[in-house]
Chain A
Amino acid sequence: MVSVTIDGHEIQVPEGTNVLEAAKKAGITIPHYCYHPALSVVGQCRVCMVEIDGAPKLATACSTQVRDGMNISTNSERATEARQAVLEFLLANHPLDCPVCDQAGECYLQDYAFDFGLDTTHMVEEKRTYPERERRMLGPHVIQNQNRCIHCTRCIRFTREISETHDLTMKARGNHQYIDTFNGEPYDNPWSACAADVCPVGALTVKEFRFRARVWRLEETRSICPGCSIGCNIMIGHRNGVVYRFMPRENAEINGWWMCDHGRFLAEDLNARDIDRPLIRSGGQLAPATWSDALEELARIIGAGTDARVIASANLSNEALYLAKKLFAEKLGLKMLVPVETGPGRSIKNAHKEWIRSEDPHPNATGARLIGLNVGDASRLQDFLITSSGPVVILDAGAHPLLASQDIIQAIKNQPIVAMANAHTPMTRAADLVFPVASWLEAEGTYTSSTGRVQLAERGAHPSDEAKAAWDILTLMARALGADPGPVTRPQQIFEELAAEVPAFAGMTYRRLSNEPGVPVLEEVAHVG
């Protein structure tokens, strides 16, 4: 540890820390563009100038490591003037088209110019433009407006150091250099949109989000990506119950600052709801019903003694899975299976530059195993379904692709089918009873990642219309079937019980989970799965 003074605050930081990070620790923001904690330090933008006692020249905070006893000023007259000048240089050629720029509201140029810049500019010259690169698709997801680029090279370094796809480069040089791909080919890699995330201005933006909402109007909810078992931390941007985007949320242990395009663009799927109240089949048609009718119907279908089977889902939270096990398997004695599949390989790099890879497309198969549920692949699912003639309860119509296959539906069409879903699938259309379940945004819950970290996804909106969270529905179902769930009011309460019961989760609380980057399950237990 070394001790440094920044603007009069004395702080202790580890040796090797740069001045910019040290200042951050002291609560002082030093503006920066080319610096990004995940990327190599290049010291190119020159906006992070600070004055260091005893040094004849100003220094760039990003590339200067602290030394014991260093006395740094971020707000001396010299440092302030220098930063103002650099910002003025940057704005000299910037189009200042903020009203039509998607980055507005989260643009570092806008913010820093406001916080640290001058209020006038001396520039009367015509601005540099790149006529062929003003608005063009750089790839399937990323739009380029080179006029806005401040040449910080973050996007290039992202493709070299993080995605390792090496597909972006700077072409030409000097004042006319620009970002491009080889031979102008589409910029397409599994993490392509992250280049837009690291772009501090509106030079690279994400097509799927373009002009859909002004960022300052969005509410943000801390969540977990539903796309696979890696469990990248995300921020869901939404408004009035409509989901606009997923953005990666920093988590050093799992996803660093990144997420893959597959996960990111699942955001739109969250809006695809077409089941918003219970449905009961009558006269060959699914018709809306009240919750009490639906629960009565459930009790009728799964009367005592029927050989009902429950298909749970590795997409459900630890809380829902725990309840399912406790109420359906243990109290009611029903057979239960969690079907899993092998998905396309996904990978993400954490903040330690380690790749995390997974072919498990479910956000919580690890949780299901740790809770002690019966987990099986497609063939086990098939056997499980066709070896009985009793009712089938499907806790998540999207739990496994086989559940959408016509062969399976044909095979079980004479058995009563109960399903939970928020959007129709071939299976829900064949069902006799459908419960409307809350979307990913609408329910709180924890998920256990492929690397054994338990992570909390918060709730950002109330379930729409008549929908309810899975844990809530499971409680109601159990009660209707005569198994007393006890007073279950919140997922947090279920989690407390789970943590007390299941050793892998021992010592975890929602409070810890929301403050830590996911709490690892106990090492020895983790390997049992």
Chain B
Amino acid sequence: MSIAHTQPLTMTPPEMLRDVHFDGEMEKKISALLRRYPTKQAALLPVLWLCQERWGWLPASVLQAVAKRLELSPAFVEGVTTFYTMYNTQPTGKYLVQVCTTLSCQLCGASGLTAHLKERLGIDSGETTPDGRFTLLGVQCLGACGEGPVVQINNDYYTNVTVEMLDQILDELPE
């Protein structure tokens, strides 16, 4: 039975993001978000999410466009973006493999998973495989400690993960 259920991320290459515009569809979504809050600024986090979903990552040009749209200073937007660990200001691999490194998961053997991944992928935490397929990241508690060890790949949680499961998942993930 297949257990992997994650779709790959697509990273828009930097040269295609030199000049960022919001097309009609993005604009529509942004306007809808703006209606939720009494200030434009409050839409910052959701708009950043929208952009990251659209382009895969958040280079300076995107931050600039967001700042302009929400009438904020670009420095402010970058300050906010880098405060939160889930906004990627650098491109990642197609699969962002995040292993929980916090206590409960570690008590259940998560460190073995990290070691295994490092060896299998030949990269360290924070690095991306040369083929751009995987980025490995040790992260803090994912809020599913009762099902540790927990691994999050892109948006999806994998729980009670063992080395064997992990191998199977990595093998099954689509191109």
Contacts and interface: CB of A to CB of B under 8 A. Distances in A.
A291 B60 CA distance: 65
A445 B60 CA distance: 51
Interface in A168-184: 168-173, 180-183
A166 B77 CA distance: 10
Q: Which interface residue of B63, B77, B78 has the most chain A CB atoms within 10 A? A: B78
Interface in A422-458: none
Nearest to B80: A169
A167 interface: yes
A165 B74 CA distance: 11
Contacts of A168: 75
Nearest to B78: A182
B73 interface: yes
A424 to B, nearest CB: 44
Given A171-B82, A181-B75, A182-B60, 5 more contacts: A169-B76, A169-B78, A170-B83, A172-B83, A183-B64
B75 A172 contact: no
Contacts of B82: 171-173
Contacts of B77: 182
B78 A166 contact: no
A443 to B, nearest CB: 43
Interface in A143-175: 159, 166-173
Nearest to A173: B83
A167 B75 contact: yes
* Smallest CB-CB A-B distances: 3 pairs: A166-B73, A169-B79, A182-B74
The bracket for how many chain A residues form the interface is: 10 to 19
A166 B76 CA distance: 7
B48 to A, nearest CB: 15
Contacts of B60: 182-183
A182 B75 contact: yes
A168 B79 CA distance: 9
Contacts of A182: 60, 63-64, 73-75, 77-78
A182 B81 CA distance: 11
B38 to A, nearest CB: 21
A172 B89 CA distance: 11
Interface centre among A168, A169, A172 (most CB of B within 10 A): A169
A181 B75 CA distance: 6
Interface string B49-88: 0000000000010011000000001111111001100000
Interface string A494-508: 000000000000000
B73 A167 contact: yes
A183 B76 CA distance: 11
A159 B41 CA distance: 18
18 contacts: A159-B75, A166-B73, A166-B75, A167-B73, A167-B75, A169-B75, A169-B76, A171-B82, A180-B78, A181-B75, A182-B60, A182-B63, A182-B73, A182-B74, A182-B78, A183-B60, A183-B64, A183-B74
A223 to B, nearest CB: 34
- Which of B60, B75, B82 is packed against the most chain A CB atoms within 10 Å? B75
Among B60, B73, B79, B82, find the residue whose CB has the most chain A CB atoms closer than 10 A.
B79
Interface in B91-107: none
A507 B77 CA distance: 53
Contacts of B75: 159, 166-169, 180-182
Contacts of B79: 169-171
A261 B73 CA distance: 22
A172 B83 CA distance: 5
A148 to B, nearest CB: 20
Given A172-B83, A173-B83, A183 B78 contact: yes
A182 B58 CA distance: 13
Contacts of A172: 82-83
Contacts of B78: 169, 171, 180, 182-183
Contacts of A166: 73, 75-76
Nearest to B85: A173
B126 to A, nearest CB: 13
A335 B77 CA distance: 60
Nearest to A171: B82
Contacts of A171: 78-79, 82
B79 to A, nearest CB: 3
A186 to B, nearest CB: 12
B51 to A, nearest CB: 16
Nearest to B61: A183
Interface string A354-386: 000000000000000000000000000000000
A159 B83 CA distance: 19
Contacts of B74: 182-183
A166 B73 CA distance: 6
A439 to B, nearest CB: 39
A183 to B, nearest CB: 4
Nearest to A156: B79
A183 B63 CA distance: 9
Interface in B143-175: none
